[in-house]
């Protein structure tokens, strides 16, 4: 094997045998039990697994918000030691501050990172314009629809210009039509901007539609159960959008395989 540093295809993000145990008043919880995988630059990876299997924990580890109990997480080949500018995090709820305007919400992350106010506002305004929100910059979050709020959350995440974008079930608060439309938009934006993306979801169709590769986690303690490369040659040479992917002939095959892998049971 060649050394990672010398390889031109060094992973953007790499997890080596990562475990995490929470220690709480009710005792220990082994959330993740020895996870290894890597993500190359510009790749879009979806991670699926049942509720409670450690998906959010995994993203918090990659974001440097949590430290692993054992194992190593590498970003550009170097161990992650805390939050890093190269990584942006988009959460389940949009966490917009209701008393701040859309523009003020969008610059928030950049401000925290110490980007000069003028430069941050300029970039935020550029992104909001690009995402069709120019007219709403001076509005308050409550004046926007759920889909628009998620676009603001994306603009805020991208305002710091991260290389890697982590998305934790970012569409789960949206109704199903908005959800599909916004997934299309966000996948398109992330691909066009060449971001490396890691999407966590429990929605199989969303995982397949957005990703180049789907990683399935087992039940808690989460471990990598399988990985699936996703491609839609029937849809032509370009990667179809998540919406188009749903009608491609390969889609059902992936769906059925992942459904079985997830071992979905209705409890009770």
C-beta of 117 vs 227, nearer to ligand ADP: 227
Neighbours of 261 (CB within 10 A): 18
> What is the smallest separation between the CB atom of 32 and ligand ADP, expressed in angstroms?
8
- Does position 22 interact with ligand ADP (CB under 6 A)? The reply is yes
C-beta of 56 vs 223, nearer to Mg ion: 56
> What is the smallest separation between the CB atom of 205 and ligand ADP, expressed in angstroms?
18
C-beta of 19 vs 56, nearer to ligand ADP: 56
C-beta of 18 vs 133, nearer to ligand ADP: 18
Beta bridge partners of 50: none
C-beta of 55 vs 179, nearer to Mg ion: 55
Size of interface with Mg ion, in residues (CB under 5 A): 2
- Does position 57 interact with Mg ion (CB under 5 A)? The reply is no
> What is the smallest separation between the CB atom of 55 and Mg ion, expressed in angstroms?
5
Among residues 11, 37, 48, 56, the one that binds Mg ion under rule CB under 5 A: 56
DSSP class per residue in 128-167 = HHHTT-GGGTTS-GGGS-HHHHHHHHHHHHHHT--SEEEE
Report phi then psi at 88, rounded to 5: -110, 150
- Max CA-CA distance within the chain? 56
d(CA 121, CA 111) in angstroms, rounded, equals 9
d(CA 219, CA 145) in angstroms, rounded, equals 34
- Does position 56 interact with ligand ADP (CB under 6 A)? The reply is yes
Question: CB within 8 A of 26, min separation 6: which ones?
Answer: none
SS3 206: helix
- Does position 53 interact with ligand ADP (CB under 6 A)? The reply is yes
Site residues (vs ligand ADP, CB under 6 A): 22, 24, 29, 31, 49, 51-57, 220
Site residues (vs Mg ion, CB under 5 A): 55-56
């Amino acid at each position: 094997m060649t050394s990672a540093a010398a390889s031109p295809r060094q992973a953007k993000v790499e997890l080596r045998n990562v475990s995490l145990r929470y220690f709480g008043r009710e005792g220990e919880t082994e959330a993740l039990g020895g996870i290894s995988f890597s993500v190359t630059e510009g790749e879009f990876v979806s991670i699926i697994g049942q509720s409670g299997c450690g998906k959010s924990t995994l993203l918090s580890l990659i974001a440097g918000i949590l430290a692993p109990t054992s194992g190593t997480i590498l970003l550009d080949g170097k161990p992650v030691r805390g939050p890093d500018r190269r990584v942006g995090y988009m959460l389940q709820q949009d966490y917009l501050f209701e008393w701040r305007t859309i523009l003020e919400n969008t610059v928030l992350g950049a401000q925290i990172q110490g980007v000069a106010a003028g430069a941050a506002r300029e970039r935020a305004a550029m992104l909001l314009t690009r995402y069709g929100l120019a007219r709403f910059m001076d509005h308050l979050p409550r004046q926007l629809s759920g889909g628009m709020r998620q676009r603001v959350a994306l603009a805020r995440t991208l305002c710091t210009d991260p290389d890697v974008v982590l998305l934790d079930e970012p569409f789960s608060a949206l109704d199903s039509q908005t959800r599909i439309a916004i997934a299309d938009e966000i996948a398109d934006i992330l691909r066009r901007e060449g971001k490396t993306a890691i999407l966590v979801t429990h929605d199989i169709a969303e995982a397949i539609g957005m990703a180049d590769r789907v990683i399935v986690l087992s039940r808690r303690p989460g471990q990598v159960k399988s990985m699936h490369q996703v491609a839609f040659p029937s849809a032509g040479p370009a990667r179809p959008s998540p919406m188009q992917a749903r009608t491609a002939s390969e889609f059902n095959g992936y769906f059925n395989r992942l459904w079985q892998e997830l071992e979905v049971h209705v409890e009770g």
